[in-house]
Structure formats: C-alpha cells, structure tokens
Amino acid sequence: MLTDHEIKRQDREIKLYGIENQEKLKSAKVAVVGLGGLGCPVAYYLAGAGVGTLLLIDYEKPELSNLDRQILHWEEDVGKNSKVNSAKWKLERFNPTIKVEVFEEKLSEENVAEVLEGVDVVVDCLDNFHTRYIIDKYCQKAKIPLVHGGIKGLYGEVTTIIPGKTQNLEELFSGLDEAKMEKTPMFGPLAGIIGTIEAAEVVKIITHCGECLTNKLLIVDLTTDSFETIDLK
C-alpha cells in the first residue's frame, strides 16, 4: 500500500498510469549493474519513479574524469567513496521512501545468481560485453527482463531483452567481447539520454504502460540528433 506521502510524491505518475501500477513499482526490485554514465541517470529516475528497492552493483570508485556524466558522483567522492555508496547516500536523501541495497564487488559467473536473486528487472549499464554476457545468461535462465544500453562518443543504443520473446544479448551482439573502454570518448548529455530511456523501459516493463523496445534496437546519433529504431525480428 502507498502512504499518503508517496501518493502525493508520485501524483503525476499516478495520473498517468494509476495507483495500482504505482504500487507495482513500489513492490519491485530492480538491479542497476554499473553506476557510471548510464547507471547514474537510471538509478536517479527509478528512485524518482518510486521503485521500492534498488540494487546498485559496481566495484569501482569515481574518478575526476567521470564527473561530466556520472551525475550521482561529486568531487568529494573522487578516490574516497565507492560508486555504489556514493549513489546510495544521494538516492536515499532524494527519495527516503525507497530502499537502496549495494553490492560492491565484480559480478562473475560464480556470484551472479546469488547477487541477482529476487530481482524483477536487470538494467545493463556496463562498459564491457564480458560482464554483459554473464548477466544476460543468468537473466535467460531466471526469465528476468534485461534492459541493455550502451554509449560511445555521440552514439548510443537501447534494447529490451525478454527471455522467450526476444533474442538474447549474446545473439544480438555475437562476437563482441572487447576490453573495458575506460578511455573511450564520451559525450555527457548522451549518457543522460540513454540512461533515462533505459529507466523508462524498466517502468514500462513493470507497469505494462506503453510499448517496450522488445525486438527493437533504438539507435541515437547526436551528431545529427537522429533517433532510429531497427526491427530485430
């Protein structure tokens, strides 16, 4: 049940998709894997949407060069606080009605099932395909929706993977297993755009409000401000 405070806080969303769907969001648990350029806006907007439990997964600390796009990390966090605890502190103050859990280690084939147990949706905010394929494989086995996002330079992409209804991530990006792209050029506003679209996909999955990017790949090109949706069927 939503409290009076939560009803007032989520008033605009409730007007859009109803109080029952808002209660679904409150009951949901969403894992955000990677608290960088994508994970920060994803976590921020899911907290704002009233998702009841957020599980933040990352093992790194913020660096100064991250701050142009990783909006939950500030200069005071650089080299001190972990990304997950930096984000947790701010999200709990942004929306004290939600619960924020953290996992401050690297996901692996050995721990992924234990870490993601009980999660309703997983959001891929990673920068490498090795770990993406690990969570993809688990989500397929556990039949958990996976929202994928990626950015590089001025280009970004989003798709939603539903086990049994779409291709899995490894099938879509077969052969890609590049090293972590720490020094890849990034455009800060693009991270915000792709991250908020990923957050919107999560809300739509939980509430069944609107059409998700299932069997579709959204390509964003900010060199020309173009948005193109590719049919993956």
Residue pLDDT, tens place only, 129-147:
999 999 999 999 999 999 9
Note the pLDDT of residue 177. Answer: 53
* Number of domains the chain contains: 1
CA torsion through residues 208, 118, 42, 232, sign: negative
Q: How far apart are alpha carbons 115 and 59 in whole angstroms?
A: 13
Average pLDDT of the chain to the nearest whole number: 95
Residue 227: strand pairing partners: 220
pLDDT for residue 211 is more than 80 = yes
Residue 146: strand pairing partners: 122, 161
Q: How far apart are alpha carbons 142 and 120 in whole angstroms?
A: 10
If you average pLDDT over each of 53-57, 77-81, 174-178, which comes out highest? 53-57
**Averaged pLDDT for residues 97-124:** 97
CA torsion through residues 16, 19, 21, 27, sign: positive
**Residue 18 CB coordination number (10 Å):** 13
Q: What is the CATH number of the domain that holds 26?
A: 3.40.50.720
What is the pTM (predicted TM-score) of this model? 0.95
* Confidence band for 185, pLDDT divided at 50, 70 and 90: confident
**Residue 156 CB coordination number (10 Å):** 24
Note the pLDDT of residue 14. Answer: 96
Closest CA to 212 of 226, 193, 232, 187: 232
Contacts of 164 (CB under 8 A, 6+ apart): 143
In which domain, by residue range, is 209 found? 4-231
Note the pLDDT of residue 176. Answer: 60
Residue 214: strand pairing partners: 160
* 10-48 tens-digit pLDDT: 999 999 999 999 999 999 999 999 999 999 999 999 999
